[in-house]
Amino acid sequence: MTTAQEVNEPTSSWDPYTRGCPSRDLLDQIGSKWAVLVLGELGRHGACRFTRLRQQLAGVSEKMLTQTLRTLERDGLLLRTVYPETPIRVEYELTPLGQTLRGPLKALTAWSVEHIEEVLGAREEYDERTGKR
């Protein structure tokens, strides 16, 4: 068995600017559309069921929601608990590791809301400039 903790390499060996570095893939994962929204919702609301998440993340397909949840669970960011009641109930919640992502992701989400109008303006200006040529 080889756990990550046993590897005593200096942290500087992880660099997302390097091709094939796991930290690049992780960065890609946690920055992906549905992962950001899932983690955000679980951060705001606490434990959530599958159906609630699907409703809150308006527009997500069941396939993508399942896939996103599996990946995040595998990465240790969220915990999946099955309650074998009837009908079955499954709840998702952030792990302590997942909690540490709330801040960074909240900042990113807030940025997109705060600056969307500037960006929309920039797009219009760009399209006018380049459309005329």
Partner DNA sequence: GTGCGTACTTACCAAAGGAGAGCGACCAGG
Partner DNA sequence: CCTGGTCGCTCTCCTTTGGTAAGTACGCAC
- A 10 A CB-CB count for 16 gives 12
Under the binding rule (CB under 8 A), the answer on residue 123 touching a copy of itself is yes
Encoded tokens for 24 = 């690049």
Indicate which of DNA, a copy of itself, none lies near residue 46 (CB less than 5 to 8 Å, by partner kind). Answer: none
- Residues within window 67-106 making contact with DNA, judged by CB under 7 A: 67, 69-70, 80, 86-90
Closer to DNA by CB, 36 or 69: give it.
69
Under the binding rule (CB under 7 A), the answer on residue 10 touching DNA is no
- Rule CB under 7 A: choose which of 10, 20, 59, 131 binds DNA: 59
Facing residues of 93 across strands?
A: 79
Helix axes of 33-45 and 62-74: crossing angle, nearest 10 degrees: 70
Euclidean distance between the first and the last CA atom of the chain, given in angstroms as a whole number: 61
Q: How far is CA 30 from CA 11, 86, 87, 101, in A?
A: 19, 33, 32, 9
Q: Which stretch binds a copy of itself (CB under 8 A): 26-34, 61-69, 85-93?
A: 26-34
- Asked if 105 and 40 count as a contact pair (C-beta separation under 8 A), the reply is yes
Under the binding rule (CB under 8 A), the answer on residue 82 touching a copy of itself is no
- What is the nearest approach in angstroms of a copy of itself to the Cβ of residue 26? 5
List interacting residues with DNA (CB under 7 A): 32-34, 49-51, 59-64, 66-67, 69-70, 80, 86-90
